[in-house]
Amino acid sequence: GIELEIVQQATCCGSPVVESFTADWVYLAAYNLALVEQMGHSTIVTVCGGCTNTLTRAARALQDPDLRAEVNHRLESLGLSVTGRVEVRHLVRLLAEREEKVRARIVHPLSLRVALTNPCQVFRPGDIMGFDDPMEPQSLRRLVELTGAEVVEYGGEDECCGATLYLASPDLALAAGRRKLEAVQEADLLLHGCGNCQLLLRRFQRMIVRDERNLRKPALLLPQLVGLAMGLPEGELGLREGTWR
What are the structural domains, with CATH classification, of the chain?
A: 25-91 (1.20.1050.140), 98-237 (3.40.50.11810)
**Which pLDDT belongs to residue 242?**
65
> Residue 88 forms beta bridges with which residues?
44
Please check whether residue 106 is in contact with residue 148, taking contact to mean a CB–CB distance below 8 angstroms.
yes
**Which pLDDT belongs to residue 19?**
67
Please check whether residue 117 is in contact with residue 191, taking contact to mean a CB–CB distance below 8 angstroms.
yes
Contacts of 186 (CB under 8 A, 6+ apart): 113, 115, 152, 154
Q: If pLDDT is split at 50, 70 and 90, which confidence band does 198 have?
A: very high
Q: What is the pLDDT of residues 55-112, one digit of tens each?
A: 999 999 999 999 999 999 999 999 999 999 999 999 999 999 999 999 999 999 999 9
**CA–CA distance from 106 to each of 91, 100, 240 (Å)?**
17, 10, 21
| Alpha-carbon span 86 to 219, nearest angstrom | 31
Say whether pLDDT at 179 is over 80.
yes
Provide the residue type at 73 as one letter.
H
